[in-house]
Amino acid sequence: MSSDLVQILEGNTFVVSDRTGDIEASLTDPTGLFSFDTRFLSKWVLTVDGERLNPLSVDDLQYFETRFFLVPGTGTVYVDSDLSVIRHRTVGSGFRESIRLLNHKQEPVSLTLRLDAGSDFADLFEVKDALRKCGEYHTRVDDGRLVLGYRRETFERETWISSSAPSTTDEHGLTCAVKIPAHGTWETSIDVVARIPYLTEPSGPAGRRSGRSTRPDMARGLDKWLSRAPRLECGSRSLTTTYQRSLVDLAALRFAPMTSPQHALPAAGLPWFMTMFGRDSILTSLQSIAFTPELAATTLRTLGERQGTRIDDFRDEDPGRILHEMRFGELTAFEERPHSPYYGSADATPLYVVLLDEYERWTGDTKLVRDLEVEARAALNWIDTYADLQGNGYISYQRRNEETGLENQCWKDSWDSISFRDGRLPGFPRATCELQGYAYDAKMRGARLARRVWRDEAFADKLEKEAADLKRRFNRDFWVVDGEYFAVAIDADGRQVDSLTSNIGHLLWSGIVDKSKARRVVEHLMGDRLFSGWGVRTLAEGEGRFNPIGYHVGTVWPFDNSFIAWGLRRYGFKEEAARIAEGILDAAAYFDGRLPEAFGGYPRSDTKYPVQYPTACSPQAWSTGAPLLLLRTMLGLEPVDGQLVVDPALPVAIEHLELLDIPGRWGRRDAFGRGQITTSPRTRRRRPNHR
């Protein structure tokens, strides 16, 4: 997201504008008022006496409100205005905008304020892919209210716009004749309601909460959210800022599906992914479970409700499969996109079982585990029954929807993310290495739940036997002998896809790596080809497709690194985990505490700051969760036999760290640690060379 854009969000609605508060969206521009995957405003331009305004400053008040301080343009670099304008915008199921005009003259003034409004009602996929509309637009003035509308058969969306001050309304906007006394002010409130006819009627939610009326509720809700989270005290001001920003952004990204408004789970990210994503919601819930375990519970219930039940090639659905993505826009409604929901993810299903077990280990909530036994068993069954496309005992993926389905159904889901050393792309099906780690972890954790909660000893024994066999075969078949690391995948011909990637770090946190191979894996992760100094790159420098600003082929992803650090701790590599944590948290300071989706994979020695990736989502849920998991990793927080174990290993630069009131089955506990690990370049191991 460009730093020139301003965004606010709440629940299922968000607004993206320029720094004056104006919106002038092209078809491919992610600015506007969006709700449930539809853009309800694509034009929103304020003028005074026909003149556009210039920004003085923008106040980022809360994630759901912002304030713009503006003056009329002078046509020069020197601004000495006798009029100033304040726009205060609060989002709800639309937004409310308070506009104040301040007259700084010693005599009264008469002005004309104009708000031009319009909407293309673009589906978010249309914005991304520059597609054209098929329905019909309508505009009307109804009792002083401007109504912008769109209809395609039974699919209907409307935007209602009204002013608290007397105004003249036409089909293109509102005009107010303004008189302000000397040194006086004038104010109006503009309500913009995003109306979905069967969901928001005049007497329903949209009719009474465009923004301001719910601001106190949202503020109280945020205060309650923050008060329930553990309290952080440390010697690093930037870490404190990052922690606070993570908690606030996580609150902002809570998403309630249209079909289950009572359940909120993490949406993937702004602006393109403000919806339910199976993988992203699960991984974010794992990252934040030591801080906000309630997110995991809602994620598990909501995804379980939508678990696959049939064979559906259009949606890549199988019985037991956990969804990838769910959308509510026009293209989905007319089955021009399969996202109702779409199931093209090979990792969300085993990760669902991983999260269920981790949640029980932290909270002791065996009731939820019993409630979701059918869903968990179906997910475990999917691994062996539907995911083994090659008949070799490994999870593989190949899309069945050739037109709009995802080619790569692992977390690196861009088209060129899985490649050989020389850059060639393998055929399908593909069995990526981390999927096998997730399957191993799911079976081991499923066995634990079966034995302790479901009281099914035979099923537990079966899962443990299958997991042991998978681990043995995996360490044989995926190990690249001449490089001593794990291949990123096995292709359709059984060949090792032999590029060196960050995926090997996910194998550590899953536990599938033989101890005899772990140190060599760690040396690769911390070597100069993968570790940039800021974090582990997605693809090693020197590989055929390496690009330090390629989406999955050389950038650094904070979420990726948080799980790699967790895996390093699992295998006892405390120093290396602390070094990754320090690099990512140092990077966060340059992004004002808000880690983006990804940043450039340039060597830290070449740049004083992490290089921004041009189209990264921000905030993004699993980047928001990364500092939380890194805090857990540095403090060595693990639930063991119903108690919280603390085993800190902090970089010296942090000095001291206190995390107070950590929630769990133990009630509330505190954790303390002091910086003791030197993470300077002198501690780097030799540079591995697999050529």
pLDDT of residue 635: 97
Least confident of 17-21, 163-167, 220-224, 326-330: 220-224
Return d(Cα 285, Cα 358) in angstroms, integer.
Answer: 10
Instruction: Note the pLDDT of residue 691.
Output: 35
**Mean pLDDT score, 355-377:** 98
Residue 405 lies in a domain: yes
The alpha-helical segments, DSSP class H, found in 132-236 are 205-208, 215-228
Task: Please determine, for residue 112, whether its predicted confidence score (pLDDT) is greater than 60.
Answer: yes
Please report whether residue 224 resides in a domain: no
Q: What is the pLDDT of residue 274?
A: 78
The range of the structural domain enclosing residue 675 comes to 229-683
Checking if the pLDDT of 540 tops 80, the result is yes
- Is 573 in the same domain as 605? yes
pLDDT, position 541: 98
The residue among 186, 195, 196, 188 whose CA lies nearest residue 212 is 188
pLDDT for 3: 60
| Statement to judge: residues 162 and 265 lie in one domain | no
Mean pLDDT value of segment 163-171? 94
Q: Which residue has the tokens 């910086």?
A: 675
Same domain, 150 and 59: yes
214, 240, 272 - which closes a domain: 214
Whether residues 441 and 494 share a domain: the answer is yes
Q: What's the rounded Cα separation, in Å, for the pair 322 and 331?
A: 22
Of residues 624 and 79, more confidently modeled: 624
Judge whether 185 and 103 are in contact, CB under 8 Å: yes
Question: Residue 186: which pLDDT band, with cuts at 50, 70 and 90?
Answer: very high
Please state the separation of Cα 5 from the chain's center in Å: 18
Torsion region of 644: left, alpha or beta (phi above 0 gives left; psi -120 to 50 gives alpha): beta
- Average pLDDT of the segment spanning 559-575: 97
Encode pLDDT of 593-625 as tens digits: 999 999 999 999 998 899 988 777 778 899 999
CA distance 439 to 467: 8
* Same domain flag for 405 and 549: yes
What single letter denotes the amino acid at residue 559? F
Do 459 and 559 fall within a single domain? yes
Give the CA distances from residue 687 to residues 133, 422, 463, 523, 569, in Å, rounded to whole numbers and listed in that order.
Answer: 54, 20, 38, 8, 21
Work out the pLDDT band at 42, boundaries 50, 70, 90: very high
Please tell me which residue, 322 or 226, carries the higher pLDDT value.
322
Structural domain ending residue among the three candidates 214, 237, 260: 214
How many CA atoms within 13 Å lie on the side-chain side of 657? 29
Higher local confidence (pLDDT), 28 or 339: 339
**How far from the centroid of its chain's Cα atoms is residue 74's Cα?**
41
CATH number for the domain spanning 422: value is: 1.50.10.10
Say yes or no to pLDDT of 207 above 70.
no
Average predicted confidence (pLDDT) for the chain: 91
What CATH number should be reported for the domain holding residue 85? 2.70.98.40
Nearest-10 Cα torsion for 323, 328, 332, 337: -50
| Rounded distance between C-alpha atoms, residue 149 and residue 517, angstroms | 61
Residue 209's pLDDT is 47
Confidence of residue 202 (pLDDT cuts 50, 70, 90): very low
- pTM beyond 0.75: the answer is yes
Query: What is the mean pLDDT of the segment spanning 416-438?
Result: 98
State residue 270's pLDDT score.
72
What average pLDDT does the segment 533-558 reach?
97
pLDDT-based confidence at 258, cuts 50/70/90?
A: low
**Average pLDDT value for residue range 177-199:** 92
CA-CA distances (angstroms) from residue 34 to 3, 15, 90, 330, 345? 19, 6, 14, 13, 26
Do 562 and 503 lie in a common domain?
yes
Tell me the percentage of the chain whose pLDDT exceeds 70. 93
pLDDT band with cut points at 50, 70 and 90 for residue 147: very high
More confident of the two residues 80 and 525:
525
Identify whether 220 is part of a domain.
no
pLDDT greater than 70 at residue 201 = no
Residue 211, pLDDT > 70, answer no
- Say whether both 297 and 155 belong to one domain: no
In terms of domains, do 330 and 478 share one? yes
Residues 654-660 have a mean pLDDT of 94
Residue 563: name the closest of 509, 605, 607, 524 by CA.
Answer: 509
Q: Note whether 283 and 361 are same-domain residues.
A: yes
Q: Is residue 690 part of a domain?
A: no
pLDDT tens-digit readout, 458-512: 999 999 999 999 999 999 999 999 999 999 999 999 999 999 999 999 999 999 9
The domain total for the chain is 2
Same domain flag for 130 and 254: no
Mean pLDDT value of segment 316-323: 98
136 band by pLDDT with thresholds 50, 70 and 90? very high
Pair 249, 376 in one domain: yes
More confident residue, 60 or 620: 620
Q: Which of 168, 191, 214 is the last residue of a domain?
A: 214
Instruction: Answer yes or no: is 531 within a domain.
Output: yes
Residue 440 CA to residue 555 CA, distance in Å, equals: 27
pLDDT of residue 690 exceeding 50, the answer is no
On whether residue 221 sits in a domain, the answer given is no
In a domain, 240, yes or no: yes
**pLDDT computed for residue 682 by the predictor:** 37
pLDDT given for residue 655 in this prediction: 87
H or E stretch at 555: none
- Is 689 inside a domain boundary? no
